[in-house]
Amino acid sequence: MARDDADTDRQTLMDQGALGAGPSEDYKARVDGLDNVVRDCMHVSQGFAGIKSPSGRHYYASILFTALVTRAVSLLKLAPHTPWASNLIEHWDYASVAGITRTILELRLAFSLPVR
């Protein structure tokens, strides 16, 4: 009975929100691509965990890589219609997404410096 009430409440919320059509196919493809890259990076990170860094540059690069992956996970949790988000109503928080995206770009730039 409680499950039926929750489903009814969810449908009422969605109806009141006038959500309209779902995301575009292009958006879904890009989210899927980001999801795949992040999962691959997590797998790589776990696979190489515990290996000593031969130099300070390698150590710093590993710190930046970890920060890059964690920011990408945060981005996937914030972006609507991702496998990482479980929102009752999908919310487009552009300011937060933009801030995290900028941080990811800055980390990527910093990451390219110590590995050269």
Return the domain boundaries, the chain.
26-112
Helices (H), the chain: 2-17, 25-47, 56-78, 94-112
Cα 106 to the center of its chain, rounded Å: 16
* Contact predicate 44/80, CB 8 Å: no
Predicted confidence (pLDDT) per residue in 62-109, tens digit: 899 999 999 999 999 988 888 888 776 777 888 999 999 999 999 999
Q: Residue 17 pLDDT more than 80?
A: no
Which residues make Cβ contacts (< 8 Å) with residue 73, sequence separation at least 6?
Answer: 38, 42, 84
Q: Which residue has the tokens 């990170």?
A: 45
pTM of the entire predicted model: 0.73
